[in-house]
């Protein structure tokens, strides 16, 4: 057997190994792709269900929010009035410079009563 025949035999063996390796890689890639397709199909169904649920949830939330606002609008008006009154009195106090008399802490008042 001469050198040329040995080289031909070695290259044929390498080609066969490369073809086997390529076939195994392609088979593994196909299996992974099939698994991915199955997962994506499951996710598509889940996303469809979630989108439908989102629409129903938004509708219900809108209904309840509007009902809540309608039922509590007098309360909101009263709160707005009270907060406005506090803001006005605070602004007036700040502009006139008259601060309300600060109360002493409860413990200090007790001590003051005991001392007298």
- Into how many domains does the chain fold? 1
User: How many whole angstroms separate alpha carbon 14 and alpha carbon 8?
Assistant: 10
Please give the share of the chain, as a percent, with pLDDT higher than 90: 42
Residue 19 lies in a domain: yes
Q: Quick check: is 116 in a domain?
A: no
Q: Is residue 103 part of a domain?
A: no
- pLDDT for position 28: 94
Query: In whole numbers, what is the pLDDT of the chain averaged over residues?
Result: 86
Written as one string, the DSSP assignment of 60-96 is HHHHHHHHHHHHHHHHHHHHHHHHHHHHHHHHHHHHH
Mean pLDDT of the region 62-90: 90
In this predicted structure, what is the pLDDT of residue 103?
Answer: 66
User: Is position 39 within any domain?
Assistant: yes
105 is a domain residue: no
In a domain, 112, yes or no: no
Q: Is residue 45 part of a domain?
A: yes
Q: Which residues contact 104 (CB under 8 A, 6 or more apart)?
A: 112
Q: Which domain holds residue 76?
A: 3-96
Task: Tell me, yes or no, whether 113 lies in a domain.
Answer: no
DSSP label at residue 97: -
């Amino acid at each position: 057997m001469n050198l040329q025949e040995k080289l031909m035999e070695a290259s044929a063996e390498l080609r066969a190994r490369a073809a086997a390796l390529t076939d195994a890689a392609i088979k593994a890639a196909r299996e992974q792709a099939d698994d991915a397709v199955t997962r994506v199909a499951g996710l598509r169904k889940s996303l469809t269900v979630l989108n439908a649920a989102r629409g129903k949830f938004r509708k219900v939330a809108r209904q309840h929010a509007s009902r809540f606002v309608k039922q509590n609008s007098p309360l909101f008006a009263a709160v707005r009035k009270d907060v406005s009154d506090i803001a006005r009195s605070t602004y007036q106090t700040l502009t006139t410079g008259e601060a309300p008399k600060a109360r002493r802490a409860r413990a200090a008042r007790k001590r003051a009563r005991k001392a007298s």
